[in-house]
Each structure stands twice: as structure tokens, then as C-alpha cells.
Amino acid sequence: MKVAKKKPKEEKAAKPDKEEAKPMKKKEEKPKEAKKEEKAEERTARRTPRPARGQRREDADMAAEPTIDWVPTTELGKDVMSGKITSIDEIFKRGLKIQEPNIVDKLLPNLEDELILVGGSPGKGGGIRRTPTKRTARMHKSGRRFRVSAVVIVGNRDGYVGIGKASAIEHVPAIAKAKAEAKLNIIPIRRGCGSWECTCGENHSIPFEVRGKCGSVEVILKPAPKGVGLCVNNEMKKIISLAGIKDIWSKSFGNTKSRVNTAFALFDAFKKLNMMKVADVSVAKAKSSLKSNKKKGIEAE
């Protein structure tokens, strides 16, 4: 990016020296061939590093993102960089706050992200065409000023999920900001097998029923036996599958069509999973008694 910006400037700086700040009309008198050459030069200078508007710029930003140039600014970041902290569980155990997204990048390298379709525009023939970003407008004396917001979920499909919401003037930076925010909000997901219909003891569902709330939306999550799948709507499915949960039942109340609130209510429910204290002994006992009961039942039959 920097190289690209410098080049045109140099050219511009060089031109006045040749022409010695002649008026614009003189420029047109130049021979056509020289003009063509100049144009071609400009094109080549632009083409390589400098991205155009829209899609290309996004790619360039993505390329510029990698964590190689990361200089940690927080104590936690320095510890992670130097290798003192090697697992993200250590951070959660000590109750530290993650203030740099690069920490998460380094400790959870196989992180995936998903966009929640929060926005939409009324389409032809009724209904709403959903879009990943929501555009809102505020009135100004000279017209409307727009702002775009996005909700991004990050997770590794194995027990870690984060949610982030951010807004910006344009589409791409809003998503990038939301993604960074989601990395800061990452939490561990307590998984288990809390269904009485299933005593496998594997981490395919959640250990107990929880409810989360955001705005008017309330979400109840219930453990389900193996093979049920995710009984939730499609947007929530994205979050739950990124958390690494395979079977779940749910129920929701309120204005669930406000997708931002639904996503955050679900995330609130996930947080509640971690807040509950469960004595492992009692769980183990319950499981063993269930298993023995099952065996007895089989024998009785």
C-alpha cells in the first residue's frame, strides 16, 4: 500500500519540474505517443500494488492483516508472545481480560468466522433479502448519512466461541472491526451430555438447561440425546455449530426477528453455562446409577 501511494506522488512531483508549472492548456499540446506512454506507465504503476475500490481493497486488507508484525502492548500479549502462556484455558482460569485479538489468533490458530445476517432490504415479491450488514441512516441537513453495522461469530468448532458487533461507514471495515471484537469476547463453552435419554457422557450437547436474554428475546437451551441435531433457527445454528455442539433443543420468546438480540441472547445462555457450579462427583454418581439401572432393566427383561 505504502509503495503504491508514493509512486504516483513522485510522478506528479516530477511533472511540474519538466513543464515548470505551466498552465493546464499546454499539457494537451504534448505529442500523442508520449501521452500514451505516460498513461501506460501510470497503469502499470497502479496495477500491481494499489487496490481499486471495493473487492480488491478487501483482499489487500486481508493480506495486510497477518499477525507477523504484531507488537504486543499488554502484559498478557507479551506473555503469549514470549511463550509463557501456551493455552487459552490458562487465561480463562486466571480470569484475565483479552485486549488484543492477536492473542486469540496465536492460541487458537484454527478459528473460523461466520456472519450473522442482521441486515436486509425489502425485495421483489414481498419478504426481505437478508444481508450480512445492516445499514442505518441519520438525517443531516444535506441528506442522509449512512452507517453500517455487522455481527460476526468466531469459533473453533471445539468449545470456544466469541461474538462481536461493530459499525463503520463502510461494509468491509465494519465486518473487520466486528471480527476483532468477537475475538476479544471469546469464551469457553461447557459441553456435556445432560439428556436423560442419553448417557454416553460425551461432549455432544450441553450439561443442563440454561436461558439467556438480550432485549426482549429470551432463549432456552436444553440438552438433547445423540442424533437430534440442532433444533434452532438457521442463524443460531451458525453460532451453536461453531461452539462445537451437535445436539440441542431450544425454545425462544420475544421479538426473535431482531437477529442481533437473538444472537446475543444465545451468547448470554452460553455464558450462563460457565456460571453454574456443578460438583463432578454427583454427576458421575448420577451417571453410574443410571447406567446400572439400565443394565438392571435389560436383565429384568
DSSP assignment of 65-103: --GGG----SHHHHHHHHTS---HHHHHHHTPPP--HHH
From residue 128, give the alpha-carbon distance in Å to each of 52, 61, 118, 119.
Answer: 31, 30, 11, 9
The DSSP 8-state label assigned to residue 235 in this structure reads H
Beta bridge partners of 115: 152
**Do 248 and 228 contact (CB within 8 A), yes or no?**
yes
**Which is closer to Zn ion, CB of 242 or CB of 245?**
245
Smallest CA-to-CA distance from 132 within 108, 149, 111 is with 149
When binding is defined by CB under 5 A, the residue of 91, 98, 161, 198 that contacts Zn ion is: 198
**Do 156 and 111 contact (CB within 8 A), yes or no?**
yes
Q: Looking at 52-60, 195-203, 206-214, 289-297, which segment touches Zn ion (CB under 5 A)?
A: 195-203
Note whether 245 binds Zn ion by CB under 5 A: no
Instruction: Find cell 459441553 and name the residue.
Output: 191
> Could you tell me how many residues of this chain bind Zn ion (CB under 5 A)?
3
**Do 244 and 268 contact (CB within 8 A), yes or no?**
no
Which residues inside 11-40 make contact with Zn ion, applying CB under 5 A?
none
Note whether 219 binds Zn ion by CB under 5 A: no
Kindly write out the interface string for residues 140-179 of this chain, putting x where it contacts Zn ion by CB under 5 A and - elsewhere.
Answer: ----------------------------------------
Q: Looking at 163-171, 194-202, 264-272, 286-294, which segment touches Zn ion (CB under 5 A)?
A: 194-202
Note whether 286 binds Zn ion by CB under 5 A: no
**Which is closer to Zn ion, CB of 205 or CB of 241?**
205
Q: How far apart are CA 166 and CA 268, in angstroms?
A: 18
Q: Considering the complex, what minimum distance in angstroms separates the CB of residue 203 from Zn ion?
A: 9
Q: Considering the complex, what minimum distance in angstroms separates the CB of residue 89 from Zn ion?
A: 23
**Which is closer to Zn ion, CB of 162 or CB of 194?**
194
The DSSP 8-state label assigned to residue 186 in this structure reads -
Q: Considering the complex, what minimum distance in angstroms separates the CB of residue 291 from Zn ion?
A: 12
Q: Considering the complex, what minimum distance in angstroms separates the CB of residue 299 from Zn ion?
A: 22
Smallest CA-to-CA distance from 195 within 231, 222, 227, 159 is with 222
When binding is defined by CB under 5 A, the residue of 169, 200, 278, 290 that contacts Zn ion is: 200
**Which is closer to Zn ion, CB of 150 or CB of 193?**
193
Smallest CA-to-CA distance from 132 within 113, 146, 145 is with 113
Note whether 248 binds Zn ion by CB under 5 A: no
Q: Considering the complex, what minimum distance in angstroms separates the CB of residue 293 from Zn ion?
A: 16
Q: Considering the complex, what minimum distance in angstroms separates the CB of residue 123 from Zn ion?
A: 42
Q: How far apart are CA 170 and CA 174, in angstroms?
A: 6
Q: Considering the complex, what minimum distance in angstroms separates the CB of residue 222 from Zn ion?
A: 13
Phi, psi of 77 (to 5 degrees): -60, -40
Instruction: Find cell 515548470 and name the residue.
Output: 20
Note whether 193 binds Zn ion by CB under 5 A: yes
Q: Looking at 138-146, 174-182, 192-200, 208-216, which segment touches Zn ion (CB under 5 A)?
A: 192-200
Q: Considering the complex, what minimum distance in angstroms separates the CB of residue 226 from Zn ion?
A: 5
Question: Applying CB under 5 A, which residues contact Zn ion?
Answer: 193, 198, 200
